[in-house]
Amino acid sequence: MTLMTTPTTIMRHVIAALVTNEPGVLAQVAGMFAARGFNIDSLVVGRTENPSLSRMTIVVNGDAAVLEQVRKQLQKLIPVVKVVAYFETAFVERDLMLVQVSTADSNGDHAFHRSRIIELANLFRAKIVDVSSERLMIELSGAEDKIEAFIDLLRPYGIVELARTGVIAMPRGRNTRRRTLQSARTPDPPDPPHTTVDPRDLPPG
């Protein structure tokens, strides 16, 4: 007899965690991911309006089971105050990139390539933040797909160096569905249908 298996859907998940601002918290979170074989696509830590708290924004790829495991494991860590998974919730995300691009072509003509690269930057609403005789440094912020599209268009010109901050995210308004929003170290309440996200329950940031 052949058993039928349901294929799992691998998705990109964005998770926000509010943590105490103390030494070693980042190492604990990274260690938890490594010990359980979860691959972190992006991890950003930043201060909030409360000097005793920091906000972590984590991007992982996996199915719904992976998302649930990550959320529960994060809640078990002592420094973690609250965890929010932006699943079935409308949210805004931003990634910041700095990229240096060569302006030289095969004939050594910098002016033509420089003008083409500047034109691309203007189309993507990017900023030219540094100019040298052979390179341009460009700053661009936006969603990951926007930045990836810009990188693909720059590759033919020659990317010299690239740095990205990683994703930060925040939910949109009040009229959004809530999937997972639990305080750390508390039992998981049932997920009511068509629940709206109360901004008072969300991590600051």
Burial class (CB in 10 A: 0-12, 13-18, 19+), 27: exposed
Task: Please give the average pLDDT of every successive group of 10 residues along the chain, which has 205 residues.
Answer: 58 90 88 85 90 92 85 88 85 95 81 92 97 95 95 95 94 58 39 40 45
Q: Which residues contact 116 (CB under 8 A, 6 or more apart)?
A: 157
Tokens of 155: 């590759």
Residue-level pLDDT at 109: 72
| pLDDT score of 152 | 97
Whole-number Å distance between alpha carbons of 39 and 35: 10
Q: What is the pLDDT of residue 123?
A: 96
The residue assigned the tokens 């925040």 is 170
Place of tokens 């189309």: 123
Question: Which residue's entry shows tokens 């105490």?
Answer: 20
pLDDT the model gives residue 87: 78
> Which tokens is 17 given?
């965690």
Domains and CATH numbers, the chain: 11-90+172-201 (3.30.70.260), 93-168 (3.30.70.1150)
Round the CA-based radius of gyration of the chain to a whole number and report it.
Answer: 21
- Do β-strands 80-85 and 180-183 pair in parallel, antiparallel, or remain unpaired? antiparallel
Using CA atoms, how far apart are residues 118 and 77, in angstroms rounded to an integer?
47
Predicted confidence at residue 7, as pLDDT, reads 57
pLDDT at 193: 39
